[in-house]
Amino acid sequence: MRARKQPLHVPHDPPAVHIEDLTVAYHDRPVLWDIDLDIDTGRLAAVVGPNGAGKTTMIRTIMGLLRPLAGHVYLFGRPVAEQRRRIAYVPQRAALDWDFPASVLDVAMMGSYGRLGWFRRPGRRERLQAIDALQQVGLQGFEDRHIGALSGGQQQRVLIARALVQDGDLYLMDEPFQGVDAVTERAIIDVLRRLREEGKTVVVVHHDLQTVPEYFDDVALVNVRLIAAGPVEDVFTDENLRLTYGGRTPYLPSLRPGAPSPESSQ
Amino acid sequence: MIDHTTAVVLAGCVLIGATSGTAGAYALLRRQALLADAVSHAALPGIVLAFLLTGERSFSVLLPGALAAGVTGAVLVQHTVRWTRLEQDGALALVLSVMFGTGIVLLTVAQKAPQASQAGLSSFLFGQAAAMLSGDVVGLFALAALLLFAVAALWKEWKLISFDAEFAASLTLPVTWLDAALMIAIVAAVVVGLQTVGVVLMSALLVAPAAAARQWTSRFGTMMLLSVAFGTLAGLVGVGASNAMEKGPTGPAVVLAASGLVVVSLLFGRERGVVWVRLRRRTKRRGVMAEQLLSALAQIAIQHDDPFEPRERGLIGADQLGAEEYDDLLALLERRGWIRCVDRYHWALTPEGLDAARRLGHQRGSA
Ligand SMILES: Nc1ncnc2c1ncn2[C@@H]1O[C@H](COP(=O)(O)OP(=O)(O)OP(=O)(O)O)[C@@H](O)[C@H]1O
Ligand SMILES: [Mg+2]
């Protein structure tokens, strides 16, 4: 991943995501401003920024759900419109109606709908794929459960299973770690690493700054503009974080060893 | 024997019930129940305008007017939400009252018109089943068949956009078109019932079968089937009841039958009915209390050399639980084979009981 100030040097594999001069607005109000960003294939990348920074907007634009005011997005070297089938998507859990009459297996199988095309119903094969995906996220035995009868962390894992059934090359996940406990977080990060081993690219909107260095290869710091992007060890600095979060310097014990924790100072 | 008129009304009401059940399930799941109400009220000016333009009273002629006005109402609501600062509820109230008001004004104009045929136009307010002709039934049948076909063909797409439209869009499904098609299906289901059920009650008939069905199941397919079945049943029962009453109002009777199904389902629905939920909660509570009692008993038992030897009954628990509840829980434990009631005053732990207590203790420890 890099913020492309300088031209690309060696022309090798096209990046999984190539964002150029991107400006996105809702009703004339720019939410993303002049973003240039490349995310290389096979990386685990975090998108980090304060609330309202435009992270979700960025994900939606990468998927081609929003028409940018200016600029464009290329996926694997081609325009988004031609590549949308290679995307697997995990939306923000809170955006969904969990009261909807559907079982865990139903929702996981929805990942196959794009592949199936018109008029074909999911069959035995799609069922097996869904069961396998649920197993990968540790939800075996929950297939027939109503989705409303799951905990928040389990719901999150159902959405990830659905994306696994999609079997994309580029995984876009909007805050998959929100509201999950430590065990679920482990389970999810294991899945992400397995995806990376398979050569997939995974882009994750992430809020927990402390775990960024441990979990991710690359990070993009966003606040309307792209503040910095690149390998975590290069760009995930105090200075960049201050720029991203404005005056409100986020608390970062991992980067400032020896600093008193908020609990102990109370 | 039923006469021709009754047969026509019966067939018509059953078809209206079935289409309402089908489209209503989507309306309910997409939280568009109130939108359906706005649509049915918004259809009135369309009906009257169609009459003023054609001078015809037949429903098949007025239907396109109703459909157009209904769709206009739905689109107006959506655009009001998008372009003004009004929220959904405000937009619904606004569109409903403006269009319904216009309809009433037009109705007054129409009633002053010279045509004799305008008589009964106001029956669209509360519905008049007797006005149904056999031609109308054929039309209703065609619409029901079309709706059924659309639901079958777009089954997974309509289900997906109802649950997670953004994900559907990410799969490159044409969400806007699917959305519009489903909206038209809902509007059509509302509009075809207007002559029989009336503008005021139609949205109740649309939503009631689905709301009842949801109380019985948490599966999408089962809910659809039940919703259609309930709609059909409401049509049958409503016509039957109004016939039994001699000139009873058919439309309202159908709506009442559907509402009756809702009430019964809210109480006794297997999935979410109040009675079952209460019962399940009680059973669960009793189960937990029994398990707690078991671990207390096991703790006493294992303090002795032979954990399985009989002990006195009043030893524990009786002070916190009522005597009756205590007896009841002990009986439950015995039914599960976890303890033995030796005689009226003594119980003894069984090996299975000790196992179960260990297992439960382990579960609780690791949770
Ligand atoms: N549909 C919309 N219409 C108008 N404005 C919107 C819409 N969606 C988002 N916005 C605005 O765009 C800005 C960026 O929103 P976005 O959801 O992309 O932020 P985010 O970084 O994902 O925030 P969060 O961390 O809270 O999820 C916000 O100021 C928000 O109010
Ligand atoms: Mg967001």
Cβ-nearest to B164 among A96, A103, A121 = A96
Q: Whose CA is nearest to atom 6 of ligand 1?
A: A26
pLDDT of residue A239: 87
Distance CA A63, CA A75 (A): 9
Q: In sequence order, which residues have a C-beta less than 8 Å from that of residue A16 and are 6 or more positions away?
A: A39, A40, A41, A42, A43, A75, A76, A169, A170, A201
Distance from CA of B150 to the nearest CA of A (A): 10
Interface test with A, best of B167, B217, B281 (most A CBs within 10 A): B167
- From the list B153, B217, B223, the residue facing A119 with the nearest CB is B153
Asked if A194 has any chain B CB less than 8 Å from its own CB, the reply is no
Nearest-CA neighbor of B193 among B47, B5, B359, B351? Answer: B47
Tell which wins on pLDDT, B43 or B57.
B43
Task: Tell whether B108 and B24 lie within a shared domain.
Answer: yes
Most B-contacting residue of A27, A89, A112, A183 (CB-CB within 10 A), to test interface: A89
* Chain B: residue whose CA lies nearest to A162: B167
CATH classification at residue B281: 1.10.10.10
Burial state string for A202-238 with b = 16 or more CB within 10 A and e = fewer than 16 = bbbbbeebeebeebbbbbbbbbbbbbbbbebeebbee
Instruction: Give B-chain residues touching A65 at CB under 8 angstroms.
Output: 166, 169-170
The finding on whether A55 has its CB within 6 A of some atom of ligand 1 is yes
- Between A101, A113, A166, which is nearest B160 by CB? A113
Distance from CA of B168 to the nearest CA of A (A): 8
What residue type is assigned to position B136 of the chain? D
Measured CA to CA, the distance from residue A159 to residue A178 in angstroms comes to 13
- Tell whether B293 and B258 lie within a shared domain: no
Report the CATH number at residue B263.
1.10.3470.10
Band of the pLDDT at B367, cuts 50, 70, 90? very low
- Would you state the torsion angle of the CA atoms of residues A212, A217, A218, A221, taken in this order, to the nearest 10 degrees? 0
Q: Are B127 and B62 contained in the same domain?
A: yes
d(CA A207, CA A175): 7
Give the SS3 label for residue B348.
Answer: strand
> Domain check: are B334 and B200 in the same one?
no
A120-124: long-range pairs with CB below 8 Å, 24+: A121/B155, A121/B156, A122/B156
Give percent of chain B above pLDDT 70.
94
Residues of chain A neighbouring B161 (CB-CB closer than 8 A):
none
Nearest-Cα distance to chain B for A85, in Å, is 7
Q: Is B141 exposed, middle or buried (0-12, 13-18, 19+ CB in 10 A)?
A: middle
CA distance A97 to chain B (A): 7
User: What's the gap in Å between the CA of A223 and the closest CA on chain B?
Assistant: 24
pLDDT at A6: 52
Distances (CA, A) of B343 to B13, B222, B312, B321, B348: 64, 50, 10, 20, 10
| Gap between the Cα atoms of B77 and B106, Å rounded | 21
pLDDT bucket at B148, cuts 50 / 70 / 90: very high
> Are B242 and B341 in the same domain?
no
The low-confidence residues of chain A, meaning pLDDT below 50, are 253-254, 256-266
Q: Which of B234, B268, B302 is the last residue of a domain?
A: B268
Vertex B5: Cα angle to B1 and B11 (nearest 5): 85
- The count of domains in chain B is 2
Which is the closest atom of ligand 1 to the Cα of A205? 22
Flag if B163 and A107 touch (Cβ within 8 Å): yes
Task: Indicate whether B113 pLDDT > 60.
Answer: yes
Q: Where are the alpha helices (DSSP H) in B154-273?
A: 155-163, 165-170, 175-192, 194-197, 202-214, 220-244, 250-268
The Cα–Cα gap between B62 and B126 comes to: 16
**CA angle, corner B96, sides to B93 and B102, nearest 5?**
135
Kindly state the tokens that stand for A162.
Answer: 């659905």
Could you tell me if B262 and B157 lie in one domain? yes
Taking an 8 Å cut-off on Cβ atoms, the answer to whether A121 and B155 are in contact is yes
This prediction has a pTM of 0.84
Closest in A101, A113, A116 to B219, CB measured: A101
| C-beta atoms of A116 and B156 within 8 A | yes
Given B216, B251, B268, which residue is the final one in a domain? B268
d(CA B317, CA B292): 10
Q: B262 and B150 share a domain?
A: yes
Q: Which ligand is nearest to the CA of A24?
A: 1
Q: Which of A139, A130, A118, A22 is nearest to A72 (CA)?
A: A22
Half-sphere exposure of B248 (CA within 13 A, CB side): 17
All residues of chain B having their beta carbon less than 8 Å from the beta carbon of residue A110 are: 156, 160, 163-164, 167
Same domain, B312 and B247: no
Residues 6 or more apart in contact with residue A131 via CB below 8 angstroms = A105, A108, A140, A143
Tokens 């996105």, located at residue: A24
Decide: helix, strand or coil at residue B342: strand
What are the residue ranges of helices labelled H in chain B? 4-29, 33-54, 59-83, 88-112, 123-126, 134-153, 155-163, 165-170, 175-192, 194-197, 202-214, 220-244, 250-268, 274-301, 323-335, 351-366
pLDDT at residue B211 is higher than 80: yes
Together in a domain, B243 and B357: no
Distance CA B259, CA B243 (A): 19
Three-state DSSP class for B113?
coil
**Which residues of chain B neighbour A116 with C-beta distances below 8 Å?**
156
Instruction: Output A1 or B310, whichever has higher pLDDT.
Output: B310
Does B359 have pLDDT greater than 70? Answer: yes
Q: Which residue has the higher pLDDT, B153 or B54?
A: B153
pLDDT per position as a tens digit, B172-207: 999 999 999 999 999 999 999 998 899 999 999 999
Least distant ligand from the CA of A58: 1
Q: Rounded to whole angstroms, how far apart are CA atoms B141 and B123?
A: 22
Question: Domain check: are B256 and B281 in the same one?
Answer: no
Which residues form the domain of B339? 276-366
Report the residue from B29, B166, B219 with minimal CB separation from A103: B219
Q: Which of A73, A92, A118 to mutate to test the interface with B (most CBs of B within 10 A)?
A: A118
**B220 neighbourhood in chain A, CB within 8 Å:** 100-102, 106
Partners of residue B223 in chain A, C-beta under 8 Å: 101
pLDDT tens sequence across B296-305: 888 888 887 7
Last residue of a domain, one of B268, B289, B309: B268
- Our mutation pick for probing the ligand 1 site, out of A28, A47, A56, counting the most ligand atoms within 8 A of Cβ, is A56
> Does the CB atom of residue A49 touch ligand 1 within 6 A?
yes
Phi, psi of A21 (to 5 degrees): 50, 35
Count of other CB atoms within 10 angstroms of residue B104: 16
Looking at the fold, whether B170 and B102 belong to one and the same domain comes out as yes
Residues B157, B305 within the same domain: no
- pLDDT at residue A46, as a whole number: 95
Residue whose Cα lies nearest atom 17 of ligand 1: it is A56
Q: A146 to chain B: nearest residue by CA?
A: B218
